[in-house]
């Protein structure tokens, strides 16, 4: 057997068997001790009572030897055990199960009792091999030991009772093991079945079926695993959707400038060819062929070339953005760190972006704090971040709106704030705008990678970027960089 179920069953079986065996041993030993202890206690009490009776009422010279049979009859009347009277030399004077005198009794309990100490002994009877328990008490006259009273009982009956109880306990233990194994099998199934369901769903996801979902049967570790797998599939589906939207968006962004470039290239080429073939027009007109030449004046030619240049730059920026993103994903971006005076950087950005602000009729202001400390950064990358943020700000701010940049120091960091009064970002889009491939539902052009690249650059500098926005009120982006 292989798998978790087999390992669980083996573990449960080992624990159950070990527990049952330990309890069986403890119970059987306890039962044995209980029965044997009771027998021993009864014999000890009877022997003690007999010895005390003799000491108090019968302790006279030669009484034991002359009246051993009478004494035996008195001691054996209240008990079913075998009673023996032994003299001070260890010679058997009387026995409740055998008539007449016997030989010497040399068992350890008798020898110890002859020394004045009560004693017990377990062993087998000579000849029969029967297991017995013997309790011996000294018979004293004053402080002198004159003999021994010995009570002997067979242990075969007790052994039989203990054996029957042991069989019953073992049977109960086996039944408990069997029931526990069935219970363990059912319990292991409650663990294995959800895992099998999760494995099946994971295999379906591995084949590309991300709509599959793992059922959550219990609110435990396996249930959390199912939740995690379902969340992962949901995220993969969302990423796939974003990727497809990104590809469609980039395709559109590439197609638009390429169409313009191609259209104007064909127009200009046709005009040039028309001019070079001007000499042949008379022949075509005389032959009845219409003149299809295209004529462009200088202004139209300049306009066409400017459009081609503008769209080519737009293509270059888009391709560079894609290359940047690929480098970040591959971890191939290396920062050229140096001391950067942010005031100079912000003035450069202001000079670069002011013409666009005027063209769009947007109020543009930059407020660097006095005494702004230098930071250790890659200046070109910081410029890239600010230009991207301002590009978004101008893109979504209508004419008459305002875009403002502030820079201030705070403890051991510098905070650059880009604010606009544009359309803002919907709350459902705000948590995702810095994720790769994400582009909020907007008709504005762009790849949707700008904020993702900005966030990655800021993180590489050991900083962070925080975005807050309210629809219809504008957006605020804070770039926090360590000094």
pLDDT at 65: 74
Distances from the Cα of 16 to the Cα of 8, 13, 479, angstroms: 12, 5, 62
Using the 8-state DSSP alphabet, how is residue 374 labeled? P
Tokens 């005027």 -> residue: 358
Nearby residues of 369 by Cβ (< 8 Å), 6 or more positions away: 406, 407, 408, 409
At 2, list the tokens: 């292989």
At 147, list the tokens: 């003999």
| CB burial readout 336-349, b (16+ within 10 A) else e | eeeebebbebbeeb
How far is the C-alpha of 92 from the C-alpha of 260, rounded, in Å?
A: 134
Phi-psi region of 290 (alpha: psi -120 to 50; beta: other; left: phi over 0): beta
Whose CA is closest to 410, among 456, 375, 377, 366? 375
How far is the C-alpha of 274 from the C-alpha of 385, rounded, in Å?
A: 47
Phi-psi region of 400 (alpha: psi -120 to 50; beta: other; left: phi over 0): left
pTM comes to 0.48
At 332, list the tokens: 């191939």
How far is the C-alpha of 62 from the C-alpha of 309, rounded, in Å?
A: 145
Distances from the Cα of 463 to the Cα of 215, 325, 376, 413, 483, angstroms: 41, 19, 11, 9, 10
pLDDT at 283: 40
pLDDT at 77: 86
pLDDT at 126: 74
Nearby residues of 180 by Cβ (< 8 Å), 6 or more positions away: 12, 16
Residue positions counted in the chain = 483
pLDDT at 362: 94
At 22, list the tokens: 């330990």
Q: Which residue ranges of the chain lie beneath pLDDT 50?
A: 279-290, 292
- C-alpha count within 13 angstroms, C-beta hemisphere, residue 20: 19
Using the 8-state DSSP alphabet, how is residue 98 labeled? B
Q: Which residues pair with 406 in a beta bridge?
A: 367, 417
Cβ-contact 479, 385 below 8 angstroms: yes
Question: Alpha helix locations (H) across 128-218?
Answer: 156-206
Distances from the Cα of 133 to the Cα of 72, 91, 119, 153, 475, angstroms: 19, 20, 11, 5, 100
At 90, list the tokens: 């260890």
pLDDT in tens, 322-351: 766 666 666 667 788 999 999 999 999 999
DSSP string for residues in 277-293: TGGGHHHHHHTT-----
Question: Alpha helix locations (H) across 217-297?
Answer: 221-276, 281-286
Cβ-contact 86, 93 below 8 angstroms: yes
Pairing of strands 363-368, 402-410: parallel
């Amino acid at each position: 057997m292989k798998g978790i179920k087999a390992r669980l069953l083996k573990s449960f079986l080992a624990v159950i068997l070990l527990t049952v065996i330990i309890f069986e041993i403890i119970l059987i030993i306890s039962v044995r001790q209980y029965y044997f202890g009771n027998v021993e206690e009864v014999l000890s009490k009877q022997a003690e009572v007999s010895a005390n009776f003799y000491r108090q009422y019968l302790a006279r010279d030669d009484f034991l030897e002359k009246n051993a049979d009478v004494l035996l009859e008195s001691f054996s009347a209240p008990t079913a055990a075998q009673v023996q009277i032994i003299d001070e030399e260890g010679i058997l004077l009387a026995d409740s199960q055998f008539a007449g005198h016997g030989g010497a009794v040399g068992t350890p309990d008798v020898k110890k009792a002859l020394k004045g100490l009560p004693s017990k002994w377990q062993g087998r009877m000579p000849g029969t091999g029967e297991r017995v328990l013997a309790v011996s008490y000294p018979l004293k006259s004053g402080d002198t030991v004159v003999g021994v009273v010995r009570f002997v009982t067979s242990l075969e009956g007790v052994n039989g009772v203990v054996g029957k109880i042991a069989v019953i306990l073992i049977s109960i233990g086996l039944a408990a093991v069997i029931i526990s194994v069935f219970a363990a099998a059912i319990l292991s199934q409650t663990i294995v079945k959800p895992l099998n369901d999760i494995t099946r769903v994971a295999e379906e996801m591995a084949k590309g079926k991300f709509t599959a979902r793992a059922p959550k049967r219990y609110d435990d570790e396996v249930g959390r695993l199912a939740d995690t797998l379902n969340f992962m599939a949901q995220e993969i589906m969302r990423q796939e959707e974003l990727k497809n939207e990104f590809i469609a968006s980039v395709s559109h962004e590439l197609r638009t400038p390429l169409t313009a470039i191609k259209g104007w290239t064909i127009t200009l080429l046709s005009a040039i060819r028309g001019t070079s073939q001007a000499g042949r027009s008379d022949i075509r007109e005389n032959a009845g062929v219409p003149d299809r030449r295209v004529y462009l004046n200088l202004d139209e030619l300049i306009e066409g070339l400017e459009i081609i240049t503008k769209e080519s730059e737009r293509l270059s920026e888009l391709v560079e953005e894609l290359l940047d993103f690929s480098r970040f994903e591959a971890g191939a971006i290396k920062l050229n760190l140096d001391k950067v005076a942010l005031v100079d950087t912000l003035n450069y950005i202001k000079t670069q972006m002011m013409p666009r602000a005027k063209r769009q009729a947007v109020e543009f202001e930059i407020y660097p704090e006095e005494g702004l400390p230098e930071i250790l950064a890659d200046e070109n990358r910081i410029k890239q971040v600010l230009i991207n943020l301002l590009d978004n700000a101008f893109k979504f701010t209508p004419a008459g709106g305002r875009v403002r940049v502030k820079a201030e120091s705070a403890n051991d960091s510098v905070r650059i704030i880009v604010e606009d009064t544009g359309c803002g970002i919907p709350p459902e889009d705000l948590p995702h705008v810095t994720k790769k491939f994400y582009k909020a539902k907007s008709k504005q052009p762009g790849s949707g990678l700008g904020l993702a690249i900005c966030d990655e650059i800021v993180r590489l500098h050991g900083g962070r970027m925080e975005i807050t926005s309210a629809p219809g009120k504008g957006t605020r982006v804070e770039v926090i960089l360590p000094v």
